[in-house]
Structure 1
């Protein structure tokens, strides 16, 4: 018997997209997630049916935590739930910031806190493996919105749980292979957070661990993901030849997987390595190839984490290549385009590209401190919502670069920067 046509189509569409095809499937997955994060598991198909009705209401607090875990941390209003109106006195600015940090911590405890259940279940099932993938996606979503500052410990806890399940759990051969893949993907996520936090040695160790998991699981997707991140890390640490080699290894592994967008990203990673070596012709060839592949659009082979690779990110990565080649006017224009195309849900990247705009204006043949200061003020507007070590370093670099310029706009921006980062 088919399920009735729902009133809350947003919830149903997202449920089905995540392969919970029936209300019974969803209720079973809900119980597994609730158990993993230590929340009550009392849910019935009737409750799921209520959430899919014309009047889904607003779930109670424990249910909100479980739902946040299951759906990767998205705002529940995006699932059709209606937030109740509240009446309370306005909070002071510092109280609002503290409450926002607490809300983010609770949201992270959604998928990430499955690691508080470190002891392996009696039997590892595909549902448990799925919870690790959900933890990974939650980390990526939070990183794009807020930066990595609050996330590394959550990633470490989730990764510890995955390792413990591998070592002490009971599972079939195929479930074990999938568990290795999920653990490797968590290693990549943790490696990225370490990279963003300025810990390149830790990032390299985690990426190497992910490569080992890929080999044990014989999984080309994980291998390509790890090599691609190693390319990015090599560029950031000033090893352009390694950046090119790792990117080429990545798109060799990803070639059979049917994702033009993924291959586009990897060619752009290769382009950055060529640009850092000053090879304009090789850079241009890789950039053109990246645009050609991206134009082919989404495909069934796209990995879930590649959602960050938007047209804005494509423009932004090319702008970084132009900066490495010393083409600062083109770099500034490309970074402006990247910010215009970047959604609010990718705030961290938008903030970084905005700082890049300012730096490009200062590095031009004829520096423009007024344009740099304007971009700098726009970058400060992302604080304190975005908490990224990379953003903090970029702002410090901008402060050092703009300080020698005596323009009034420069000194005004420095005053604003000091005020925004005080304490």
Structure 2
């Protein structure tokens, strides 16, 4: 068990990081009242769950920047309930699990905002909560997120190990879709390592598991893992394997299949289309600029450091062809969007 003073120090650190720049569009979550010396019941656990849903609901369409302050406040209050509130053993176990999921949601905001180290810390706290509350679904979710962070940090073996641990945690959970996601996370690790054979095996497994269809055991947070996301995650693996044509086609499929949903993810894959068409051995500049032009339409409504980073990558990739007029025009427009943003 983490000492209470260490926990408070961690919360203060998270507050600082989560309450950073970009709270101008703050979207209030369902308020978690100060009940630090009161009775905590099932309704309070549901309130934490509702806060998690509110975070994901807004983040899918607008990115993370507007939510850091609210997530920090909700997490701080929930930890206060856990530490000094009054509750039964059953409620305490449920509350700890709910806080674990809230830690993952806050960690996701950190990850999307470029605070990868903080995201890793929050995912680690969620993993500890899962172990204490014996919540295998939460444990798998936390390991899957740690795999994502390891890949972002350029640590392919850690990404693979965490993804395999996630699959082991939920092997009897009853959600083929969740297993599929973690298999795709493993594929991303193998791709970053440069092992195309193992990456292909994991991709095939992910598609096979996904084809089993939805199940009652599928958790609510898995709603983002649509056929579009399946295609997009494979595209990212193809990109790491330098299979640029397949990566571009997969990212295009992801954008198309997303339709009007999950705006931030759609924008990220739009950037991938532009990048992959730009860096192919035989660049397809018209397709790259068309995708890059669509990418600019997401600003400033979507506020995500990852998306800004992807825009920068697209600009760098296209800048190699700045002598081409349509590329030069897009680069000028991009500079305007960045300046006004």
TM over 0.5: yes
Residue 353 (structure 1) aligned with residue 269 (structure 2): yes
Q: Which moved more, 1:117-126 or 1:404-413?
A: 117-126
Please give the per-residue CA displacement for 1:141-189, whole angstroms capped at 9, x wherever unaligned: 1111000111122111111011000011111100000000000111111
Alignment of 1:191 with 2:110, yes or no, is: no
The structure with the larger Rg is: 1
Match of 1:246 in 2: 162
2:29/2:70 contact within 8 Å kept: no
Match of 1:19 in 2: none
The match for 1:378 among 294, 299, 313 is 294
Cα offsets for 1:366-419 (capped at 9, x unmatched): 122222111000111111211111000110111122112111111111111122
Provide the secondary structure at the position in 1 that maps to 2:65. Answer: coil
Matching of residue 294 in structure 1 with residue 210 in structure 2: yes
Query: What's 1:61 paired with?
Result: none
Structural RMSD (CA): 1.3
Query: Normalising by structure 2, what TM-score?
Result: 0.91
Which residue of the other structure, out of 329, 334, 337, is the alignment partner of 1:417?
A: 334
Query: Structure 1 residue 121: deviation in Å?
Result: 6.3
Q: Is 1:214 paired with 2:133?
A: no
Give yes or no for contact 2:29–2:55 (8 Å, CA) kept in 1. no
Across the two proteins, how many residue pairs are aligned to each other? 317
Match of 1:398 in 2: 314
Distance in 2 (CA, whole Å) between partners of 1:289 and 1:403 is 38
Separation of aligned partners in 1, 2:272 and 2:34: 41
Secondary structure of 1:176's partner? helix
If the length of structure 1 is used for normalisation, what is the TM-score? 0.73
Long gaps (5+) in structure 1: 1-100
- d(CA) in 1 for partners of 2:320, 2:240: 22
Extract structure 1 runs of 4+ deviating beyond 6 A: none
Map 1:163-174 onto structure 2 (within 5 A): 163-174=79-90
2:28 to 100, 109, 118: 109
Distance 2:38 2:78 in 1: 14
- In the alignment, the residues of structure 1 paired with residue 261 and residue 79 of structure 2 have an alpha-carbon distance, to the nearest angstrom, of 31
Q: How does 1:220-231 map to 2 (within 5 A)?
A: 220-231=136-147
Query: 1:119 Cα deviation (Å)?
Result: 3.5
8 Å contact kept, 1:145–1:344: no
1:295-374 correspondence runs (5 A): 295-374=211-290
Q: CA deviation at 1:120?
A: 2.8
| Equivalent-residue separation in structure 1 for 2:34 and 2:214 (angstroms) | 36
Q: For residues 19-75 of structure 1, give each alpha carbon's deviation from its aligned partner in whole angstroms, at most 9, with x where no partner exists.
A: xxxxxxxxxxxxxxxxxxxxxxxxxxxxxxxxxxxxxxxxxxxxxxxxxxxxxxxxx
SS across alignment from 1:255: coil
Q: Flag structure 2 segments of 5+ consecutive residues without an equivalent.
A: 1-22
Q: Is the 8 A contact 1:118 1:160 kept in 2?
A: no
Check if 1:143 corresponds to 2:62. Answer: no
Query: SS of the residue aligned with 1:377?
Result: helix
Instruction: State the alpha-carbon separation in 1 of the partners of residues 92 and 43 from structure 2.
Output: 13
State the Cα deviation string for residues 78-108 of structure 1 (Å, max 9, x = none): xxxxxxxxxxxxxxxxxxxxxxx97x63xx3
| Contact 1:184 1:211 (8 Å CA) reproduced | yes
Query: Deviations 1:271-301 (Å, cap 9, x if unpaired)?
Result: 0000111111101110011001101111011
1:345 aligned counterpart, secondary structure: coil
**Higher RCO, 1 vs 2 (CA within 8 Å, ≥6 residues apart):** 2
Quote the offset at 1:124 in angstroms: 0.7
| Structure 2: distance between partners of 1:353 and 1:302 | 25
